[in-house]
Structure 1
Amino acid sequence: MAETSGEVWFYHLERSTLDQVLPELLDRTLQRGWRARVRVSDDNRRRDIDERLWSWRAEAFLAHGLADEAHAERQPILLTADAANLNRSQALFIVDGSDMSLKEEFERCFIIFDGRDDAALTTARGRWKALKEAGANLAYWKQSDEGRWEKAA
C-alpha cells in the first residue's frame, strides 16, 4: 500500500509550458477551497514562478508567498524548495523534477513535467513506476491536439 495520503496526477506537457499550465491549475485548486504548495528546487525558477503568479492575468493575480518569507503559514499558495507543509496545503505541485517524499500528506499531488525534455520524461517515468509499485492512486493527464486535458491512464 502506498504511503502517500492522496491522489497523484501526472501532467505531461507537450503543447503548453509550465508558465501557462501552473497558474490555471493553481486557480482551480483555490476555487476548490484548497491551499497549495509548489515545490521548485531551483531558486531562479522559483523566483520566475513567483513573478509569473503576480502577473498571471492583466485583471488578476494569484495570491502567494515564498516559504522563506514572513507569514508563510498564511499563504494560499506557497512556493518552497522543501517538504515542510507550512501553509497546511491540500495540494502539492512538483515541478522541474523537484523531490517528492512518498510519506507526504496531501489530497492531490500534481507532478508536472515537460514531455519535450528527455531527462524530465525519464524522471517522470521512474516516478510513475515507483509510485505504482507503492500502490499509489495515480492518474495521467495529457493534452489533446485541441489543447484540452484528457485522462490517459
Structure 2
Amino acid sequence: MTRVTFYLLENSQQSAEQFACKLVEKAWRGGLPMHIHTEDESSCVAFDKLLWVWREDSFLPHGIVTGTADSEDNSASIDNLPITLGFDTPSIPQNRLLINLNSEVPQFFTQFNRVCEIVVISPGQKTISRNKFRSYRQLGIEPEVHNLPG
C-alpha cells in the first residue's frame, strides 16, 4: 500500500516549491528516484527552472516527461533520469517517490510506493490540504503528518 506523508510548514517564509527542492535533494542523495507532479504545464516549467537555480552548489538531474507520449525518447528519458517532472499521468516505474504539488490527489498515486504532500499553512491551502487528507482516508490510507516549524 502507498504510504502518504503530509509536511505542514507552519509560519514558514518558504514556498511549497522551495521546500520541495530540499525534499528532492534529500531523496536524490539517498538514491531514491522520484516524480514531481505539478498543477499544469506552466507550473511544471517553473519548477524545472527552480530546480536548476535553487542552490548554487547543488545539481539535481531532472527532466520534464509527459505521460501521454509513448515515444521511445520519452521512455528512455524516464529510465535515465532519477528525477522526473510532469503535469499529466506519467508512465514511469513504480518504485518512485511522488511529490505532489498539484491541488488534487492524482488518480495514479497508487503507482508509487510513497507520496509526499507539502502544505504551507494559509487559509486557502488549509482547505485544499484537508480535502486531500480526507480523500486519502476515504481510500483506506492513513496519512502521516509532520509539523515543521518555520
In which range does the TM-score fall when normalised by the shorter chain? 0.7 to 0.9
What pairs with 1:4-153 in structure 2 (closer than 5 Å)?
Answer: 5-14=1-10, 15=12, 16-68=14-66, 70=74, 71-73=76-78, 74-86=80-92, 88-101=94-107, 104-118=110-124, 120-144=125-149, 147=150
| Structure ranking higher on relative contact order (CA contacts 8 Å, 6+ apart) | 2
Q: TM-score, normalised by structure 1?
A: 0.79
Shift of 1:99: 4.1
Count of matched residue pairs = 140
Question: Mean alpha-carbon deviation: is it higher for 64-73 or for 47-56?
Answer: 64-73
Measured at CA, do residues 87 and 63 of structure 1 come closer, stay the same or move farther in structure 2, by a change above 3 Å? farther
Shift of 1:47: 1.1
Moved over 4 A (4+): none
Q: Distance in 1 between matches of 2:98 and 2:50?
A: 18
Structure 1: stretches of 5+ with no match in the other structure:
148-153
Identity %: 21
What is the root-mean-square deviation in Å for CA atoms of aligned residues?
2.1
Q: TM-score, normalised by structure 2?
A: 0.80
Contact kept, 8 Å, 1:72 with 1:86, in 2: the verdict is: no
Structure 2: stretches of 5+ with no match in the other structure:
67-72
Give 1 or 2: higher helix fraction: 2
